[in-house]
Amino acid sequence: MNDRATLADADAPACVRGLLALELSPGSRIDRAALRQTEAAALASLLARDLARLVPAARGLDACLMAAHFDPAEALRPGWPLHRRLEDLHARAPRGDGTPRVIAFGADAAGEVPMPLQCDASLAGGQLRVLPWLFAGARALVDEVAEAFESILLDRGMAAADTALAAQQSFDTRVEHARSMTLHDLAAMTAMQYEHAGLAPLWPLIETALLAPDDTAALDAPPEPQLHYAGGEVTITLLTPDDWRARCGGNDSDCERLRRRFAQYEMRQQQFAAVLGAHGIPVLFESAPRPDA
């Protein structure tokens, strides 16, 4: 994955994208959608300090933090919308005297959360929450910092104790671990989690949508559902019970067992559709063409 990006304006700075990941303690949750500006600025300063200690060259870049938390799937959506929002906010920030800045974006004075910082309410209850950050500036320096982040954050990206404590106190929750990672790190971690959850067959389609959206990908491996990615969306093929039996039933002749297996197959389709939806990938359900069509 290439974690470097440019804004639409050809003169805009390049940036390297990453996230502050907060692993909440069991039973904990975050009820605050975003930090107020003072808290956001304090957390951004601590985060920028931590990362500059690891990669001193990062001090020559603007450091920007979106002090709002999201589900990891929201950060892994085609087009990287969370970071695109942060890039847009960075582009609109006052330029100052040209020296590197630490910029934080949070709730307004009344505690209201503007739309770019609002998470998907249906994904708000997870135990891992991520706060997008980016470092922006001259392309050559961004390339240097991006390469360094990619090589060390996975092993050495744990936040300092005062940074983790600031996140915990500001969000009024209990944080088990706080660490910075690149988008590439998050994608690799998610792929591993999906493998452990039995969702490994789905990851190649998600990866294609993220990294090569103009390509195609397919899942056609019974007894898994049939899926096809093309044109930015995934088509899930609906089968009649007879079609499913011909494809997946094998030599099983127990009607009750076949009914249960078909019901499980349909549940698997819905599970895949829900995961794809969490990643912002549109899903279409289409009936299989009849042989005489």
What are 247-284's pLDDT values in tens digits? 888 888 888 989 999 999 999 999 999 999 999 999 99
Distances (CA, A) of 101 to 44, 136, 217, 264: 11, 10, 42, 53
* C-alpha separations of 266 from 44, 239, 245 in Å: 45, 9, 13
Residue 124 binned pLDDT confidence (cut-offs 50, 70, 90): confident
Sequence-ordered list of residues with C-beta below 8 angstroms from that of 186, at least 6 positions apart, any chain: 19, 21, 72, 75, 76, 130
pLDDT band at 5 (very low <50, low <70, confident <90, very high): very low
pLDDT at 208: 97
pTM to 2 decimal places = 0.90
Average pLDDT over residues 114-140: 90
174: CB partners within 8 A, 6+ apart? 24, 25, 28, 168
CA distance 69 to 170: 12
Confidence check: pLDDT of 244 > 70: yes
Q: Is the pLDDT of residue 175 over 60?
A: yes
Taking only the tens place, the pLDDT of each residue in 60-94 is: 999 999 999 999 999 999 999 999 999 999 999 88
CB 57 within 8 A of CB 141: yes
Give the pLDDT confidence score for residue 291 in this predicted structure: 60
